[in-house]
Amino acid sequence: MITVQNLTKRYGSLIAVDDITFTAPAGTVTGFLGPNGAGKSTTMRVAVGLTHATSGSVRVLGGDYTDLPNPAARVGVLLDASAQHAGRTGREVLTLGAMTLGVPRSRVDQVLEQVGLTQRESRKRVGTYSLGMRQRLGIGHALLGNPEVLILDEPANGLDPQGIHWMRSLLRVFADAGGTVLLSSHLLHEVQQVADRIVMIGNGRIVVDAAMEELLAEGTDLETLFLTSTMSTSREGIAA
């Protein structure tokens, strides 16, 4: 479970995240939806200890991420697929990750198969990978430790339709087995296809926080809400 409580993050006079509260329960895929610049990535960076909150908190598995024993083994994270070392092969990236986490090297081959990277592709340097291949490698790295939680920022970027279908299936299986998934995206259709819950953010504030079934039953017009939050964020960016 991930619990965000009254989280605020300021950068000088800019309020990137404005007193937001929501929960990503175990056994669900929570779609964290909003336009670029809405505060999604900032929230995720706070969750994994890369950015300090101005106020409020993010609890992962009941505590601070940085206080968890071997946190990367319990919480799989993908924030930026392009940050992988371009000079290493995909296999080397995963092998170093396995060594760091203390998991058997046999896990590398299991993960490569799970994310659909062939043995030949795994021996190529990451600098030659397409964005879609980097995303698969990044998701594989997040899965190395058999985590209980996945925090994925825009993981569908660069994936072709077959890759997006694969990713949805993987996340569905993970959540149905009791895992927690927090999946950020600026693409409404992508999130609607897999999410059990929708948390929509615009201009640093929560616009929607509800179960998908509830939203569908109420006939909530998510597209209009999403477009409204997009325009709000755009206006704020222009004003700034």
Domains and CATH numbers, the chain: 2-81+142-204+224-239 (3.40.50.300)
- The answer to whether the CB of 106 falls within 8 A of the CB of 45 is no
The pLDDT tens digits of the residues spanning 106-156 come to 999 999 999 999 999 999 999 999 999 999 999 999 999 999 999 999 988
List the one residue out of 187, 168, 186 whose CA is nearest residue 176: 168
Q: How many CB atoms are located within 10 Å of the residue 192 CB?
A: 17
Mean pLDDT of 203-224: 84
Long-range contacts of 227-231 (CB under 8 A, 24+ apart): 228/202, 229/34, 229/35, 229/38, 229/200, 229/201, 229/202, 229/203, 230/35, 230/202
List the one residue out of 16, 6, 100, 15 whose CA is nearest residue 59: 6
pTM confidence score: 0.90
Is the model more confident about 65 or about 35? 65
pLDDT band at 237 (very low <50, low <70, confident <90, very high): very low
Whether pLDDT at 35 is above 50 = yes
Is the model more confident about 142 or about 186? 142
Is the model more confident about 233 or about 72? 72
